[in-house]
Chains A and B, each alone.
Chain A
Amino acid sequence: MPLKRFLKQPLQRLSDLQSKYNIFTSISITANKEQTNKPLTNYVASIKDNIVTKDLPTTCASHILENFKSPYDATVVKLLKQAGVHILGKTNLDEFGMGSGGVHSMRGPVINPLYPHEQGMIMGGSSSGAAASVVCDLVDFALGTDTGGSVRLPACYGSILGFKPSYGRLSRFGVIAYSQSLDTVGILTKKIDVLRKVFQVLDKYDTKDPTSLNDELRGLIEKNMKAKKPLKIGIVKEFNHESLPSVFHELYSSFLKKLVNLGHEIYPVSIPSVKNSLPIYYTLSPAEAASNLSRYDGIRYGYRDSKLDIKDGVLFAPTRSKFGIEVKNRIILGNYNLCSDAFKNNFIKAEKLRVNLIDEFDRIFRFPNVLTDSKGNPEGLDILVVPTSSKLPETIKDFQEQESKSPANSYINDVFTVPMSLAGLPTLSMPLKEKTPIGVQIVGQYGDDSTVLDFVESLS
């Protein structure tokens, strides 16, 4: 939506939507001076509240960072501003990105605008507010972050596009770390042409991010990866779950039929390690989180307990008690995995199994992986098509009830998204039907983001 159109919208609408769906953590109603001749002139965007901004607070939806204002902009924010984007506000999320429902926020849960708000349906998380801001047409696009599916799941539940680029393509400088080996900035929008434009602006090597994909490797990808039509498309056996709703199967069959009619070739494929992905993910990510979140002591920035810095012999415990329950649970599990007793059995084992998974993906793709030095499989596939979610959105009440019985009940929401996060693959969730919370993911080889975008664009 161009800026002029946005400014003509009554602020009342924004206020109404905010009170119904709890989308933003902060809003900027001051319009920038209109800029011309920029690649994203007058586009309006929202930014997930775990990406730092100079002009607005960055809270990670946590009491620990309540009122925190960064002295600098994240690289992705800086690039957007330079490209002429107006930032409408920061969006609500699961605290520090930890959750798949969008319910673990100090600001309360985000409600899915695809449904009447009285129903109180989950948006999916953790980029819940980002997705809701797009669904409500308040912005042209939103930036979210995706560690294990946090862009793709809410995009699916909001029936919009959610793109997690290859790990390292978009800078993480200024993205508050949850799990640094997985965290990826993602883009949510309704239009593939907008997504492509935004991606082009952000897809740059950043010297400030040690995990950023360097120019040499970007050049190699550009030189070697040119998918030719018709594409060879794989359907992964291990994603064929009993739990998929029947309505998914109907839409999925129609979608595949469309691909066949367009001349693409469809192949069965088996990637056995996919089944190990969730336990690998829930071993590695809490361990990284425990390490990353150890910096919140209240001494240098963020919330600080008004009276004490030490309690019962535990340094900074009075301040750190302000973490939400889900964050605390993951920190404790992460520290367990990093303890000498469990380190070899859990953490190292999970890392080795992650290597196996990455190598299995390499064996089925036509193109080489520039990180692993795989040669590519000459008979291999160009893309994979994978469901995004094993179930439909549920009510916030049901979600919380299930989660309180066992954390595994919410962990399994990531079952279709986590494998590609572990391998860092470019993955785009697209709706199978308008205004319907059912989607599929289009997956490419590492670095081959352009084939994924081209393919989705060819379907629109």
Chain B
Amino acid sequence: MFSTRWICRMHIAGRINRLGSHRLASTGGAKIGKKFENMGQIKDYLSEPVWSVHEYLGTNVEESALKLPPVKLVKKLLRLSGLPLEGADIEGIQMQLAKQLSFVNRLHDIPVEDGTGVEEYGARLMPRKTTLLNYKMLLEAVKHQKQDADIGEVSGSWTATGLAAESKNGYFVVREGLLKNRK
């Protein structure tokens, strides 16, 4: 049986849902409703939780039920990441990665609104429409280019090997050979 408090909440929620469907006018995926007339309406609106972070944590399934990435994949990722294989807690990484993936793979089930014609590069926070560069513009840009000591463009403004732990005659040093013994 429902408690009185719970019934009240359901009643309010039902009222808000009706109010909500009346209020929300479609403008594509995002919608703006009609102006709230009083604080009572605002409080009613706020009293209806729409979702919970537990929806994310729902992906936080029991460890035994997780699909672990294969050991071979984990070793490949360690190599790509430049992290040591020797002494690595492979099982721990498998578990960690499985948990991370159960969280981010939620994306697979979400449909992409493709009607906008905007490709993925629109995700960059840069102007979506740009002007094509031509030869004249490049020449113009070069003409006005100035060397900047702050970014090391002025010859002698910095020593390339000055911050290296090891260097020899102005060269960086890589021990054990750069290409030998590499997998």
Bind each other:
yes
- In this assembly, does A27 line the interface, its C-beta being within 8 Å of a C-beta of chain B? no
- Give complex CA distance A424, B127 in Å: 12
Contact of B96 with A407 in the complex, beta carbons under 8 Å:
yes
Among B29, B123, B151, residue most surrounded by chain A Cβ atoms (within 10 Å): B123
Interface bin, chain B: 35 or more
Contact of B178 with A315 in the complex, beta carbons under 8 Å:
yes
Residues of B12-47 contacting chain A, CB below 8 A:
20, 23-24, 27-36, 39, 42-43, 45-46
Contacts of B45 in A (CB 8 A): 235, 237, 240, 268
Partner of B78, one of A242, A332, A349: A332
- Give complex CA distance A71, B114 in Å: 46
- Give complex CA distance A458, B183 in Å: 62
Contact of A72 with B97 in the complex, beta carbons under 8 Å:
no
Contact of A355 with B123 in the complex, beta carbons under 8 Å:
yes
Contact of A408 with B49 in the complex, beta carbons under 8 Å:
no
Smallest Cβ distance from A323 to chain B, in angstroms?
Answer: 8
Partner-A contacts on B (CB < 8 A): 20, 23-24, 27-36, 39, 42-43, 45-46, 48-57, 59-60, 69, 73-74, 76-86, 93, 96-97, 99-108, 110, 112-114, 116, 118-129, 148, 150-151, 158, 160-166, 172-178, 181-183
Partner-B contacts on A (CB < 8 A): 68-69, 71-72, 167-168, 181, 208, 211, 217, 234-235, 237-238, 240-244, 249, 252-253, 256-257, 260, 265-273, 275-276, 278-280, 282-284, 290, 294, 297-304, 308-318, 320-321, 323, 328-329, 331-333, 335-337, 339, 345-346, 348-356, 358-361, 363-364, 370-373, 377, 379-381, 390, 405-409, 411-412, 415, 423-424, 446
Q: Told that A335-B81, A408-B57 touch, could you supply 19 new A-B pairs with CB distance under 8 A?
A: A181-B124, A235-B42, A240-B49, A240-B50, A243-B53, A272-B30, A273-B30, A276-B106, A278-B56, A301-B163, A316-B82, A335-B77, A336-B77, A355-B123, A356-B29, A356-B116, A407-B96, A415-B53, A423-B125
Q: List 30 A-B contacts (CB under 8 A).
A: A71-B158, A167-B125, A181-B124, A238-B50, A240-B45, A241-B51, A260-B42, A267-B35, A268-B45, A269-B30, A273-B30, A280-B107, A282-B104, A304-B165, A304-B166, A310-B175, A313-B183, A314-B83, A316-B82, A320-B84, A329-B96, A332-B83, A336-B97, A350-B104, A352-B119, A356-B113, A359-B29, A390-B53, A407-B96, A407-B100
